[in-house]
Structure 1
Amino acid sequence: MRFSALKKSKDVCCVLCGAAGLGIQTVEDMLARIIVDEGFFVFGSREYMSRVRGGNNSTEIRISDVPVHALLDRIDILVVLSPNVRQNIRERITGDTVILGDRELLNGELEDLGASFVDIPLSKLAKEAGGKIYSNSIAAGVLLGVLGLGTEGADTFYRRRFAGKDDVIEKNIAACAVGHELGLSISEGEGALSGRRPNTGTEKMILNGSDAVSLGAMAAGCTFVTAYPMSPATGVLSFFAKNAEKAGAVVEQVEDEISAINMAVGASYAGARPMVTTSGGGFALMGEGLSLAGVMETPVVVHLAQRPGPATGMATRTEQADLDLALFSGHGEFPRAIFAPGTMESGFAITQRAFLTALKYQTPAIVLTDQYFMNAFYNLDPESLEYLGEPPLPTETPEDYRRYEDSPDGCSPFGVPGWGKGIVGADSHEHDEIGHVYEDFKLRKRMQDKRLRKLDGMAAEALPPFFSGPEGFEKLVICWGSTIPIVREALSLLERSDTALLEFEQLWPLHGGTGEVLARAPFIVSVEGNSTGQLSRLLQSVFGRGSDEAILKYSGLQFSVEEVAERLGTVLSGKGGNR
C-alpha cells in the first residue's frame, strides 16, 4: 500500500464523501479535533449539495507538519460511504489515490480510475454495530488506523457530542474501534502519519470562517443581529443565537431581508451595534434599507456571504461575484466601506474594523465572504487573533444638540435617544442639521457634500493591500478575499523571482497607495472567483490600471492550489491568456 510513501509528503490530503444524512460533518469535526490534539496542522473545506437527503456531500481534510490554509485538488486517501460520487471528486482521483470503500455497496464504482481500491465492508460492519447510522464511525476509525493515529480522542469526542445518551456513545465507540483495527491491518504499521514529529506549539484552536466573523462582531461589541436564514450566511445567525446570552446580544430571525435591514437601522438609531447577515439574493432586497442608513447616517454592518447567481443560482456553492452588488447597491450616492477577509485571523480582525468604520463614519460597512470561506477551517494560536478594541460610546447629547451638525470631516456627533437632553432627529427625506425635512436646493447640496466628505477620512484610514515579493518585480498578481491563501501557496510553488503578489482585504474605499504599485507593474494578472474580473475593473476605474490577463473561475467550485499554479504558470510564462 502507498501509506508509507505519504510519510515523505509535506502533507496528506484526505477526502470523505457520502450521502447527506450519513454524518460526514460529525466525522469531519471529530477527525479535525483529533489531528490537532495529536500535534498536527489541519485545513478543512466542505462541499454539500442543496438538499437535505440524498446527493453526495464531501469534506477535505488536509494534514501537515506545518500550517496549511488552502484547498488542494490532490486526493491521497478517499473514504467513500455511499455510491454516486460526484464527478468533480472523480476527476481528482489519480493513480496515487488510495480509495477505501465497500465494494458491494459501490458495485464497482471508482474501480476503473487507476487508483488503489481497498474493500471495507461498511454495510456489514455497520449492521453489526447497530445500524447504517454507524457507518460513519467505522469509516472514521478506518481512517484513524491508516493515518497511524489512536482512538482515545474519538472516545472523548463521542462522550462529549452525545452526552446523556449512553447507548449511542458506546455503540459509536465500539464501531470506531472496529474500524480502527481494520485500518491498522490495512496500513500494516505504515500509517501515513506514523513517525512524524508532531508540532508542540499552541495552535490548538480550530476556527472556521463563520465563527471568525461572528467572534469578530462580538469583539466589536455587536449587540443586535438580525437575518432571514440564507445559505451560506446562516452560520453567523446560528452562532449568535447559540451564544446570545454570553455576547449580550439580541438575535432576531425575521420574515424577510427587508425587515432584517430595517430592524438593524432602527436598532442602530436606538443605540445598538447591529449586524445583518445574508447572501446575495437577500442583500439585493436590502438596497432600500441600505440607502435609508445612508441618508440617516446610521452605522450598520452587513455580512454578505457570496454564492453563485443570478437569482437562486447555486445555493450551496461559492463565488466572488457580489463585489459590484456591494459597491453600487442602494439608490442615490452615499459612503460605504467594503471588506473581504482572506484568512480566519483577518475574518476576526476585519469584522471588528467594519464595526469601527461604520460607527466612526456613521455609514454602512459590508463584510464580503463566500461559501468556501464560511465553511473552511484550520487550527491557529488564539493569541494570533487581534483585538482592536470596542468603538466609543455615543455622545451624551446637550439640549441644543443637532444630529446632522456640519463638520470638516462630515462626521456629526453621534447621539441616541434617551442618552442626554437633546432630541435626536432622523428622517428618510433630505433634512437639515436638526433632522427637519425641507425641500431646499442649497441645503440638499450642503448635506450631500457633508456626507460624501466622510470618504476622504475613510480612504485615509483604508487598509493597504498586502504586498509581497521583489521590489523590482516584472509581473504582479492581484487577488482578494478567500482566494488569497490559495494564490499565495500557488505562487510559492512556482518560485518565480520576477513576480509579486498584491492581496486586497479592503475593497472600498481603496487605499491611495495602491495606484503607485499598479503603475510600477509592467504586467498584471488578476485571480478572481467571478466571470468578469470585478476587482480588476474597479482598479481600472479608480487608478486607470487593471489587469492585463485574468484567471477567473465561476463554476461554483473554489480554486485549488494546483489549478492556480498551473494557470498562473501558463500566463506568467507568456504562453496564452486565461480570460
Structure 2
Amino acid sequence: MKDSVSVLIGGKAGQGIASIETLLTKGFKRAGFYTFSTKEFMSRIRGGSNTTLIRISKRPVNAPVFKVDIFVPLDTDSYYHALERISQETFLIAKKGDFECDCTLYDHDLPSLAKSIGSPIVSNTIAAALVFGMLGCDLGILKEIVSELYQDEMLEINLRALDIGAQLAEDNGNCRYCIEPNPISRKAGDFFLSGTEGVGFGSIAGGCNFICSYPMSPSTGVLTFLAKQSRTFGICVEQAEDEIAAFQMGLGAWYSGGRAITTTSGGGFALMGEGLSLSGITETPMVVYLAQRPGPATGLPTRTEQGDLELSIYSGHGEFPRIVLAPGDPKECFELTRMAFDLADQYQIPVIILSDQYLADSYFHIERFEIGSRQPVSRIVKTDAEYKRYCLSDNGISPRGIPGYGEGLVLVDSDEHTEEGLITESMSVRNEQNGKRLQKINLIFDEAIVPEVEGEGDIIVLGWGSTKHIIKEAVERIGDERVSIIHFSWVHPLSESQLTPLREDKTIVVVENNATGQFAKLLRLHGIRVDHQILKSDGLSFFVDELSKKLASALKEIR
C-alpha cells in the first residue's frame, strides 16, 4: 500500500481540467485525505497541452512529484506532453489504440460515453468519478459536491456522468494504489488554500481598502479575488491603464490615508521602478505583490521561476530602505501579507511580497491556524499648524499626517526636501534627510524573521520562498541524518540574527528555482560560504523525486 498517490489530468484549455481538479480535491479532502494540487498550463485561452497534478495521502503532502500513478489524458497532445512522467506502474485511463505505452491501460472512451448521455462536455465528470472509485472512495461525496456546484439540467447530467464513472470503477475493481484515509484530515476547520487566496485574505486582514493593478499573469488572481470581496470588505478596486499608473494610484491612496496594494509580475514591476523610488523619497508606504514568472521580457507568461529576487531588491534608483518577503505556502502568504501592510505603514517604506506562479496557483492542505481578532493599527496622526512631514527624529520615522486631518499642511515632493516638505538643494539638509531615511534600516533589522533550523546535521539545505515544502519532503525521502533545513521567508534586508546559523562550520547547499543562484549570491555578499547549488529554470517548479535525486548526488560529493 502506497504512502501517497499522484493523479495527473491532461488536456486542452477549455476541456474542463479545472472542473476535475475542483471535484477531486474537494472530494478527496472530504473523504479523509490530505490533498495537494498544482497545475502547469500554456499561454492561450483555448487549446495547448495543460496538466493538473493532484496528490493525496494519509499524511500531509504539500509538494509535487514528477512520476505519476494515475494519468487521464483528455486528448492526444497532453499524453505526449506528459509522456516522460509515465512509468510501467502508471494506470492510464484512455481508449485502447489511441496511445502506446508499457503501463496498465484502463480502456475507456470517455468522450463517447459523455456523448451517449447527451453532453460531450461531461467526460471530465466521468473521469473524476472513475478515479475517485478506483481509489475506493464513496461516490456519494462527489454527488454532494456536484449538487453544490450545479443546478437543474446541468446537475442532472453531471449526476448521470458520476454514475457512469462509478460503474466503470466498479467494473475494473480498486487499483493497487488504494491508501487508507486519515480521519484527522477531515477536520472542518482545515483550509485548502492557494497562494493567491492566502495573499488575498492577508490583504483583507492587513486592512487593505484599495487595490489598483494592471492584469499580468500570474498575479491577476489576487486582483480578481479582492474584486469579488470588495463589497463585503469595503475595498475600492481599480484596473489601471498600465503598471506605472497602478503604482502611482497606490501611492496616492496611502498619501490620502488608505491602505493599498498593487499586483504585478516581473515585466510590470520593471515599469514600477520609478514609482518605487518615489515611495522611497516621499516616505509613502506601499505594498506590492510580485508574482514571478520566467523572463526576460515576456518569457513564459504562465510558468514559474524565482528569477526576480535581485529585481525586487535593487530596482528603483537611489538608496532607500525596503523589505522583501517570500512566503513558502498559503499560510505564510496570509501572515506575511498582513505583516507587509503593517511594516509599510510603520516604517513608511515599500514592502514587496515575492511569490511565483507555482505558489500562486497551487492548492495546499493547511491545518487550521488562528487568524486572530487583531485589527490593523493606523499610525496616522492629526496634524497641527506647525506640522512638519519630514521632521527629524531619533529613529528616522517622522509622524505621518494626511491632507485634511488636522490643521497642518502635508507637503510631499519627489525632489529632496526640507523637514516641511519644501524643495531644497542644501547639501546639509540632503545629508540630514537621506540619513534619516536610511536610519530606519536599523529598526527594520529587528523585525527580520529568523528562520528555524530543522534538524541538527552539519549539512544545511537552504531555500527561500516557494521551495519550502519541496525541500522538506525531498530531505525526508533521503533520510540522511547529516542534513538540516533552513528556509528563508524574509529575504531582504538580511540581519545578522538570520545569518548566524550559517556562519558556523557547516556545509551549505542552496536550492533555487532560477539559473544564476540569486539568493546564494546575496548570501556571499554577506560573507556566507555557499558550497553547493542546485538550480532549475525550465519554467517548472522542482519536483520532490527530482530534487531528492539531485540532493542525494550532492551529498555523495560531500562524503
Classify the TM-score, shorter chain: over 0.9
**Separation in 1 of the partners of 2:71 and 2:480?**
33
Paired residue secondary structure (2:164):
helix
Which residue identity is paired with 1:322? D
**Separation in 2 of the partners of 1:408 and 1:508?**
23
**Separation in 2 of the partners of 1:453 and 1:151?**
62
Contact 1:339–1:508 (Cα < 8 Å) also in 2:
yes
Q: How far has the Cα of 1:265 moved from its partner?
A: 0.6
1:237 correspondence with 2:223: yes
Paired residue secondary structure (1:316):
coil
User: Cα gap change, 1:341/1:177 in structure 2, threshold over 3 Å: closer, same or farther?
Assistant: same
User: Cα gap change, 1:219/1:422 in structure 2, threshold over 3 Å: closer, same or farther?
Assistant: same
Q: 1:504 aligns with which of 478, 485, 488?
A: 488
1:115 correspondence with 2:100: no
1:257 correspondence with 2:243: yes
Contact 2:49–2:81 (Cα < 8 Å) also in 1:
no
Indicate the residue corresponding to 2:554 in structure 1: 571
Paired residue secondary structure (1:445):
helix
**Separation in 2 of the partners of 1:62 and 1:269?**
46
Q: How far has the Cα of 1:463 moved from its partner?
A: 0.7
Indicate the residue corresponding to 1:550 in structure 2: 533
Q: 1:19 aligns with which of 12, 27, 46?
A: 12
Deviates more, 1:382-391 or 1:170-179: 382-391
1:28 correspondence with 2:21: yes
Q: 1:301 aligns with which of 280, 284, 287?
A: 287
**Separation in 1 of the partners of 2:235 and 2:180?**
47
1:279 correspondence with 2:269: no
Indicate the residue corresponding to 1:89 in structure 2: 82
Q: How far has the Cα of 1:155 moved from its partner?
A: 2.5
Contact 2:35–2:54 (Cα < 8 Å) also in 1:
yes
Contact 1:72–1:561 (Cα < 8 Å) also in 2:
yes
Which residue identity is paired with 1:18? G
Which residue identity is paired with 1:178? I
Which residue identity is paired with 1:278? T
Q: 2:43 aligns with which of 50, 55, 71?
A: 50
1:78-157 aligned at under 5 Å gives the runs 78-85=71-78, 89-103=82-96, 107-109=97-99, 111-112=100-101, 114-157=102-145
Indicate the residue corresponding to 1:375 in structure 2: 361
Contact 1:35–1:63 (Cα < 8 Å) also in 2:
yes
Paired residue secondary structure (2:355):
strand
**Separation in 1 of the partners of 2:425 and 2:233?**
43
Paired residue secondary structure (1:9):
coil
Deviates more, 1:87-96 or 1:252-261: 87-96
Paired residue secondary structure (1:536):
helix
Indicate the residue corresponding to 2:507 in structure 1: 523
Count of residues in correspondence between the two structures? 558
Q: How far has the Cα of 1:202 moved from its partner?
A: 4.2
Q: How far has the Cα of 1:17 moved from its partner?
A: 0.9
Paired residue secondary structure (1:18):
strand
User: Cα gap change, 1:229/1:197 in structure 2, threshold over 3 Å: closer, same or farther?
Assistant: closer
Which residue identity is paired with 2:513? G
Paired residue secondary structure (1:91):
helix
User: Cα gap change, 1:87/1:434 in structure 2, threshold over 3 Å: closer, same or farther?
Assistant: farther
**Separation in 2 of the partners of 1:86 and 1:396?**
64
**Separation in 2 of the partners of 1:195 and 1:241?**
40
Q: How far has the Cα of 1:449 moved from its partner?
A: 0.4
Q: How far has the Cα of 1:158 moved from its partner?
A: 2.6
**Separation in 1 of the partners of 2:62 and 2:249?**
36
1:364 correspondence with 2:350: yes
Q: How far has the Cα of 1:194 moved from its partner?
A: 6.4
Which structure 1 segments of 5+ residues have no match?
1-7
**Separation in 1 of the partners of 2:506 and 2:493?**
25
**Separation in 1 of the partners of 2:385 and 2:23?**
59
Q: How far has the Cα of 1:295 moved from its partner?
A: 0.8
Paired residue secondary structure (1:573):
helix
Offset from partner CA, 1:393-425 (integer Å, 9 cap, x none): 411112211111111211111111122221111
Contact 2:36–2:54 (Cα < 8 Å) also in 1:
yes
1:152-231 aligned at under 5 Å gives the runs 152-163=140-151, 166-186=152-172, 188-189=173-174, 192-193=177-178, 196-199=181-184, 200-202=186-188, 204-231=190-217
Contact 2:448–2:498 (Cα < 8 Å) also in 1:
no
User: Cα gap change, 1:326/1:399 in structure 2, threshold over 3 Å: closer, same or farther?
Assistant: same
Q: How far has the Cα of 1:305 moved from its partner?
A: 0.1
1:490 correspondence with 2:471: no
User: Cα gap change, 1:138/1:169 in structure 2, threshold over 3 Å: closer, same or farther?
Assistant: same
Q: 2:458 aligns with which of 471, 474, 493?
A: 474
**TM, length-normalised to structure 1:** 0.93
Matched-pair identity in %: 40
**TM, length-normalised to structure 2:** 0.97
Which residue identity is paired with 1:332? G
**Separation in 1 of the partners of 2:171 and 2:530?**
54
1:290-439 aligned at under 5 Å gives the runs 290-385=276-371, 389-439=375-425
**Separation in 1 of the partners of 2:339 and 2:482?**
33
Which structure 2 segments of 5+ residues have no match?
none
1:452 correspondence with 2:438: yes
Q: How far has the Cα of 1:511 moved from its partner?
A: 2.6
Indicate the residue corresponding to 1:4 in structure 2: none
Which residue identity is paired with 1:43? F
Offset from partner CA, 1:41-85 (integer Å, 9 cap, x none): 101111111111111111111011111111111211111111112
Q: How far has the Cα of 1:499 moved from its partner?
A: 1.9
Contact 1:403–1:412 (Cα < 8 Å) also in 2:
yes
Deviates more, 1:333-342 or 1:67-76: 67-76
**Separation in 2 of the partners of 1:195 and 1:65?**
6
Offset from partner CA, 1:520-547 (integer Å, 9 cap, x none): 1432110000011000101111x21141
Which residue identity is paired with 2:44? R
Paired residue secondary structure (1:312):
coil
Q: How far has the Cα of 1:452 moved from its partner?
A: 0.4
**Separation in 2 of the partners of 1:228 and 1:296?**
23
**Separation in 1 of the partners of 2:524 and 2:557?**
22
Which residue identity is paired with 1:549? H
Offset from partner CA, 1:209-246 (integer Å, 9 cap, x none): 10000100100101111111111000000000111011
Q: How far has the Cα of 1:483 moved from its partner?
A: 0.3
**Separation in 1 of the partners of 2:140 and 2:231?**
33
Contact 1:355–1:391 (Cα < 8 Å) also in 2:
no
Deviates more, 1:507-516 or 1:234-243: 507-516
**Separation in 1 of the partners of 2:506 and 2:203?**
40
Contact 1:280–1:306 (Cα < 8 Å) also in 2:
yes
Q: How far has the Cα of 1:204 moved from its partner?
A: 3.5
**Separation in 1 of the partners of 2:178 and 2:166?**
15
Paired residue secondary structure (1:85):
helix
Offset from partner CA, 1:451-476 (integer Å, 9 cap, x none): 00111100111111221111xx3221
Deviant stretches of 4+, over 4 Å: 189-192, 194-197, 384-389
Contact 1:184–1:191 (Cα < 8 Å) also in 2:
no
**Separation in 2 of the partners of 1:338 and 1:189?**
48
